[in-house]
Structure 1
Amino acid sequence: MRSEMSRINAGAIARWWRNLDRVTLSCVGILIGLGYILMLAASPAVASRIGASRDMFIFKQVAFLTLAGLIVLITSTLSRSAVRNLAIFGGIIALGATAMTLVHGMEIKGARRWISLPLMSVQPSEFLKPCFAVVTAWLLASRRRIVLRGNIAFPGMLLAFIGFGAILALLKSQPDIGMLSVITMVFMTQLFVDGLRLYWVTLCVASMVGAFGMAYIAFPHVRSRVQRFLHPDVGDHYQIDTALRAFGNGGLTGRGPGEGRVKDMLPDAHADFVFAVAGEEYGLLLCVGIIVVFGTIVIRTLLKAMREDDPFIIIATSGLVTGFGLQAFVNMGSTLHLIPTKGMTLPFISYGGSSAMSVALTMGMVLALTRHQVGPSKVVQAANAPLHPTTFQDAPLIEGRRS
């Protein structure tokens, strides 16, 4: 009896499972599992400190991560054209919602980035990252495939820059320099992969350096963070010093589950500094393991992109995984004081509904785009095809065995 998941089963679920990158999906599952574990460790102390129920963050994050897992699975089943359409419509909605934050958004620490909903607050700019990466890839790839009347090439590059300019203006107005930096790096990476000439790449890098200098002058919170990073004797270093002490306390194997102390002292132990909680309670081994999981996702996706022939797939997956990897690097790097601090979550591990769902959308799109596109007819034909006639009839006879 043939199993439903056998190689000759032409069912939709079986085809999806056979053609999916199961290693990347397993890594996503590991990160979601670590998110549950570290939220159990970090959030009760934070909730008690603000006067809320000890289980408030846990229950919310369980719901967020469950929804995130469903988003990954559902999005990974989409066709490549469906991923493109989802990114276009999702990008339009996210762009409009981001613009709405400037008028009706919640102001937290001087920034308007969130829209208040009955059960949670949403940061629309989080969803701009995956949608922008896919739409940009489609625009850049289309300029080679679509020719308008009069043999005029489709202005994909121009439209991509217009979209980036709109996002730049909105994020600067919130302000959200960290998100803008990540989206800029994603855009520059996609332009480079698309074949941008070296002198244009140099000009783009110089422009980014100039923009950072302008942000340093224009935004006091950016200047404060940079100065605190460069000059340890300037400003308040409480959170960084506490996080570094937590890594030292954890050592190689950690103090043990629930035995950490950093979560009792850090206001953002469940969010921006959850990596420090992992280091103190589970030690260097778990921290290295987390880095390996993130690295596996990034490197494996890039290797798959290198084997693709479709420019849309190559550019889209490169942009998606660049944003994913940069977000992880910024969180872990700032916790370890390798870069200036920036309020950015660790994908699937830090607390946050908007972050969990946007990262889930990112990884679902990556899995969908890197999935082998095999139609059901081909599977059936391969299963029912007779053996090639040369298999036995034309095989060389062994001398002495001819009848």
Structure 2
Amino acid sequence: MNIAPATAIASDLPVRSGPRLTQRARLKIWWRELDHVLLGLIVLLMAVGCAAIAAASPAGADRLSSDTVTLDPLHFLWLHLRWLAVGIAAMLGLSMLSRESARRFAILLSLGMVAALILVPLIGTEVNGARRWLNLGFSFQPSEFLKPGFAITLAWIMSWKLKDPNMPVFGLVTGALALVVGLLMAQPNLGDAILFTGVWFVLVLLGGVSARQIAGLIAAGIGLLATAYMFYGNARNRIDSFFSGGTDYDQVDLAQRTLLAGGWDGVGFWVGRAKFRLPEAQTDYIFSVVGEEFGLIACAGIVLLFCAIVLRVLMRAASEENFFALLAASGLIAQLGGQAFINILVNLSLFPSKGMTLPLVSYGGSSTIAICCGFGLLLALTRRNPFLTRETAGLRNMLFDKEKDR
């Protein structure tokens, strides 16, 4: 029996005359099907993010203040709470979608954001030497909103393989990746290009790529990195700075010093001083601020929280019988988890600086709403009727049986 939301199953049953479900009944069904553990972990991450931004906000406000304008020390916290309210509404709204509706929304979102990425080099706003923003009466970063849509769209294309094994899904998803990476490198945005490539790699692995193709992918990845180093000045400078160990004025080196300044238990809330030297304390380097003010133990707690979210989604996906849902959930959590751990590794001086936020912990407008949209789609894809039990051996055994029959 296929595990699916009760509303989706009900749609396949014969139509009977009678009163339609009330909105209250629909909400009850949605709440019953929702993964409450995953939702609780997401809410906890949001709370941790608010505390972290409250600690980092004075450093960001001080950097943007001038002789004529002095920002409130909690300026970025108040802004973040507004964005978070919008994000929570989007997350809950998207979590109520059926899998089919979530897929359609993601495809439309991907198409719209790819079109926006095409416009970025032409009419985009430049910030810190990179042109990544569009201002259409309101500013937003298209690449952030493309992330959840991209993962689900690729999963949908990969799922075509079950209907027709001869369909060239690998070529299609690789072509889609090449288009997106090309648009990102024009900004330039190497960090997101690496993240999108990682999501693509996870999906093609789960989609049944052979060992020979995997070896080819690894070789191609190494070749692309070498090409980026030789011909892409931004990537070369960041990599050279990373391997040279940085300087006292290097962002990554300052982040590491700030992270270690608080020891195991931190110097205390709003007591830290090293955070005022960081260029983006409330965004890219908020993990280091947490280390200074709350200690390395708190940093370890954040890492464990992200691990718990990733493991929870993978546990749900491992028993999923719907191929598309498995791929989409895995792709989404690879994108969200990958972004988190790249940010953490940058703060630990274990990865070159990428200008990437820590999901739901860093301050941000586009990033916060986009990440909430990603979690909303993830909640929609992992919804299940708790009263249904599986009667098949699961997707993995089902696929193996199909391979044996060929």
Establish whether TM, by shorter chain, passes 0.5: yes
- Between the aligned partners of 2:82 and 2:190, the Cα distance in structure 1 is 29
Query: Once the 2 structures are TM-superposed, how far is the Cα of residue 40 of structure 1 from its aligned partner?
Result: 1.5
Q: Mark the CA change 1:161 to 1:242 in structure 2 (over 3 Å): closer, same or farther.
A: closer
1:331 to 340, 343, 351: 343
Partner of 1:124: 142
The one-letter code sitting in structure 1 at the alignment partner of 2:363 is Y
2:221 to 208, 222, 225: 208
* Paired residues of 1:144 and 1:153 also in contact (CA < 8 A): no
- Between the aligned partners of 1:56 and 1:95, the Cα distance in structure 2 is 33
C-alpha distance after superposition, 1:91-114 (max 9, x if no partner): 111111111101000122332111
- Between the aligned partners of 1:125 and 1:188, the Cα distance in structure 2 is 18
Residue 15 (str. 1) matches residue 29 (str. 2): yes
- Between the aligned partners of 1:224 and 1:117, the Cα distance in structure 2 is 32
2:86 to 56, 60, 67: 67
Query: Once the 2 structures are TM-superposed, how far is the Cα of residue 165 of structure 1 from its aligned partner?
Result: 2.2
Partner of 1:176: 189
C-alpha distance after superposition, 1:193-244 (max 9, x if no partner): 0110011011111111111111111222211111121112x66643333322
Indicate the RMSD between aligned Cα atoms, in angstroms.
2.1
- Between the aligned partners of 2:250 and 2:243, the Cα distance in structure 1 is 15
Partner of 1:259: 271
* Paired residues of 2:53 and 2:282 also in contact (CA < 8 A): yes
* Paired residues of 1:104 and 1:115 also in contact (CA < 8 A): yes
* Paired residues of 1:91 and 1:131 also in contact (CA < 8 A): yes
Q: What percentage of residue pairs aligned between the two structures are identical? A: 36
Residue 218 (str. 1) matches residue 228 (str. 2): no
- Between the aligned partners of 1:369 and 1:60, the Cα distance in structure 2 is 30
Secondary structure at the counterpart of residue 250 of structure 1 = coil
* Paired residues of 1:98 and 1:124 also in contact (CA < 8 A): yes
**Higher Rg of the two aligned structures:** 1
Secondary structure at the counterpart of residue 107 of structure 1 = strand
Residue 239 (str. 1) matches residue 239 (str. 2): no
- Between the aligned partners of 2:286 and 2:367, the Cα distance in structure 1 is 14
1:89 to 99, 108, 124: 108
Q: State the aligned residue count.
A: 362
- Between the aligned partners of 2:120 and 2:101, the Cα distance in structure 1 is 28
The one-letter code sitting in structure 1 at the alignment partner of 2:295 is G
Q: Mark the CA change 1:165 to 1:373 in structure 2 (over 3 Å): closer, same or farther.
A: farther
Partner of 1:136: 154
Residue 49 (str. 1) matches residue 48 (str. 2): no
* Paired residues of 1:253 and 1:285 also in contact (CA < 8 A): yes
Query: Once the 2 structures are TM-superposed, how far is the Cα of residue 373 of structure 1 from its aligned partner?
Result: 4.5
Q: TM-score, normalised by structure 2?
A: 0.84
Q: Mark the CA change 1:264 to 1:110 in structure 2 (over 3 Å): closer, same or farther.
A: closer
2:128 to 85, 97, 109: 109
Residue 295 (str. 1) matches residue 313 (str. 2): no
1:317 to 329, 335, 338: 329
* Unmatched runs of 5 consecutive residues or more in structure 2: 1-21, 389-406
C-alpha distance after superposition, 1:287-308 (max 9, x if no partner): 1111111001111111111101
Partner of 1:387: none
* Paired residues of 1:144 and 1:154 also in contact (CA < 8 A): no
